[in-house]
Amino acid sequence: MRKKLFYICLIFAVTYAKGQNPQLTQFYAMPMYLNPAFTGQTYEHRFVADIRDQWPGISTTYKTVAASYDYNIASANSGIGLMLLQDNSGTPSISTTLAMLSYAYHFKISKFAEIRGGIQLGYGYKSIDISKLVLNDQLYSNKSTTVDPFVLNMNNHVNYMDINAGALLNSATYWLGFSAQHLNTPNTSFSQDGNNKEPIDFSLHGGYRFITEKKGNQLMEYFSPTFNYKHENNFDQLDIGAYYFKAPLNLGLWYRGLPLKHYAPGYLNADAVSFLIGVDVAKYDARIGFSYDITVSRLTVARSLGSFELSVIYEVAKRSRKTKKVLISCPKF
């Protein structure tokens, strides 16, 4: 009975909850998704791929695939980029596809510090498999079809435009960024006469790098505490943790949640503890990261098996570009 109730609650949450933005543990590996101000913050070309499987122990939950490309236009103090993301969630197979174009501009405020600003304009497509919904009239009548007016008045997809923006204070040792998603609050309701506007999702993120070893302009060892605070409507989330890098290995430990805040009596704002391991493959100018989230919320009773995430980053640049100093403001994963 407990398992059945859990699945019913999960289906309800996936189907009707607002503002269900895909979540990444390795958000610095997909920097344009975190903040468009990161666009073009590399030597020249950067390719990124990320795949996340959340709670694989529960069938038909959350799976996210993302890819991006960005380019540093050094002569114009600018960066341009393209990001594609697809997220699939829930028993009714809700699928969200995003295609976002990014632009960022930066200017120096000192020899080793800069301010960056970025904007994203994009297109979203969200679909649902209505045939997989199980609603009240089917449960009462024990029939496979439904005459629920909610379903009869539904579309199986919706298209919308999306606007994101962000800013970043960036230096050789510290960074502080702010971003906002869904500035135009697009209507993503499946109902023909519905008005389900995406709320604005805010993020405040930053950190500091304690450098213990360098080789020229190349960092060989450092310790970096970081954070990412997100707010949407009445919901808050804090990712706080640290990275330790000793070339070519990168290790990370994170906690996700606000343990002192309760959304309801008996329900803590606690989600997961995350572990990360990354490797720099210098020969191929690539980085590979793998993270695993241990679920610490009540979802553990359903044997969620945590969450897995894999990222691959590949950079291409002329040798002359690599010999010049480039400010890198954040951890690599």
**Tens-place pLDDT, residues 55-64:** 777 766 789 9
How far apart, in whole angstroms, are the C-alpha atoms of residue 221 and residue 247?
Answer: 6
Segment 292-319 mean pLDDT: 80
Highest average pLDDT, of 151-160, 163-172, 291-300, comes from: 163-172
pLDDT of residue 15: 38
| pLDDT above 60: residue 234 | yes
Q: Rounded to an integer, what distance in angstroms lies between the CA atom of residue 113 and that of residue 261?
A: 36
Distance (Å, whole) CA 196 – CA 187: 5
* pLDDT band of 5, cuts 50, 70, 90: very low
> Per-residue pLDDT for 296 more than 60?
yes
Beta-carbon contacts of 218 under 8 Å, excluding residues fewer than 6 positions away, are: 247
How far CA 175 is from CA of 37, 106, 128, 222, in Å, comes to 12, 14, 39, 15
CB 285 within 8 A of CB 314: yes
Q: What is the pLDDT of residue 92?
A: 60
Residue pair 324/311 in contact by the 8 Å Cβ criterion: no
Pick the CATH number of 2-322 from 2.40.160.40, 3.30.565.10, 1.20.1560.10, 3.40.50.2300: 2.40.160.40
Query: 8-17, 61-70, 96-105, 185-194: which has the minimum mean pLDDT?
Result: 8-17
> Residue 43's pLDDT band (boundaries 50, 70, 90)?
confident
Q: What is the pTM of this model?
A: 0.85
Q: What is the mean pLDDT of residues 32-50?
A: 94
Residues in contact with 253: Cβ distance below 8 Å, sequence separation at least 6, in sequence order: 241, 242, 273, 274, 275, 276
**pLDDT recorded at residue 9:** 43
pLDDT confidence tier of residue 211, bands split at 50, 70 and 90: very high
Whole-number mean pLDDT of the chain? 83
Mean pLDDT of 42-70: 88
pLDDT value at position 138? 57
Residue with tokens 């804090």: 238
Q: Which of 158-167, 183-192, 212-221, 299-308 has the highest mean pLDDT?
A: 158-167
Does residue 99 register a pLDDT over 80? yes
| Backbone angle region of 329, left / alpha / beta, with phi > 0 → left and psi within -120 to 50 → alpha | alpha
69 vs 52: CA distance, rounded Å: 18
Q: Return the half-sphere exposure (C-beta side, CA atoms, 13 A cut-off) of residue 264.
A: 1
- Model pLDDT, residue 8: 42
pLDDT digits (tens, 9 = 90+) for 114-165: 999 999 999 999 998 877 766 665 565 565 555 555 566 678 889 999 999 9
Choose among 100, 118, 154: nearest CA to 40: 118
Residue 68 has pLDDT above 50, yes or no: yes
